[in-house]
Amino acid sequence: MKERELVAGGFYRHFKNKLYQVKCVAYHSETKEKMVVYQALYGDFSVYVRPYDMFMGEVNRVKYPDAGQRYRFEQVFLRGEDSDISADAQKKEITADNYMDAEKPGDNSVISDTGADVTDGEADERLMRFLDAESYAQKLEVLSALKNNLDDKLIDAMAASMDVEILPGNSEERYVSLRKCIQARAKYECTRLR
């Protein structure tokens, strides 16, 4: 049986249907225990740490007999992110139509298998255009094009994808703050050591 491999930067669905992005693997400074650092892609975008073995482990079937997946966290893919994904993984694919459906009151079905229950496709498409931009210069172009069509949730999602936080304020102030962050990264994008 092939051992599962954790992907830093990868998107994972918790068995309770919440979406997260793995930031990195870290080590406890005293015990050297391997830990996973991951961020919620909903709500306030909190960052968490969990022991690696627990993150990669199977769902406790005694405690959660109705869990819909085998593992506590299972990787999901953005459309076009991995052209070699299996048929099983394809049904867990995150599309522009189901990504932003993650946090609706009373709804715990972060990702629908088909994307058919989507009602807010516009927000999804905007975020996906931003996430698909290959450089900060392109992200800046996308942001500029969306200037008059942004909301706080979208600004927060864009900022979280870059590991930055945009402070509360009116939409114009938050847009300007995000724009400045992207401009700074775009300025140094080509000169940074890789």
Domain boundaries, the chain: 11-102, 121-188
Q: Which bin fits 17, alpha (ψ -120 to 50), beta or left (φ > 0)?
A: left
Say what the pLDDT of residue 42 is.
85
With 0-12 CB in 10 A as exposed, 13-18 as middle and 19+ as buried, what is 53?
Answer: exposed
Q: Which CATH superfamily is domain 11-102 in?
A: DUF1653-like domain (2.30.30.320)
Confidence of residue 85 (pLDDT cuts 50, 70, 90): very low
Burial tier of 188 (Cβ tally within 10 Å: 0-12, 13-18, 19+): exposed
**Cβ-proximal residues to 169 (8 Å cutoff; 6+ apart), any chain:** 177
Q: Categorize the per-residue pLDDT at 2 as very low, low, confident or very high, splitting at 50, 70 and 90.
A: low
- pLDDT of 14 above 90: yes
Q: What is the pTM of this model?
A: 0.46
Tell me the pLDDT tens digit for each residue of 41-78: 888 889 999 999 999 999 999 999 998 899 999 998 86
H-run or E-run covering 113 = none
* More confident: 33 or 100: 33
pLDDT at 190 (0 to 100): 59
pLDDT digits (tens, 9 = 90+) for 121-180: 333 578 888 888 888 888 888 898 888 888 888 888 888 888 888 888 888 889 999 999
User: Among 22, 41, 162, 25, which residue's Cα sits nearest to residue 98?
Assistant: 41
Could you tell me the pLDDT band of residue 87, with boundaries at 50, 70 and 90?
A: very low
Q: Is the pLDDT of residue 189 over 70?
A: no
- Which residues in 28-109 belong to E strands, given as ranges? 34-40, 47-51, 73-76
Asked if residue 120 has pLDDT above 70, the reply is: no
pLDDT surpassing 50 at residue 35: yes
Q: Taking the CB of residue 94, how many other CB atoms lie within 10 A of it?
A: 23
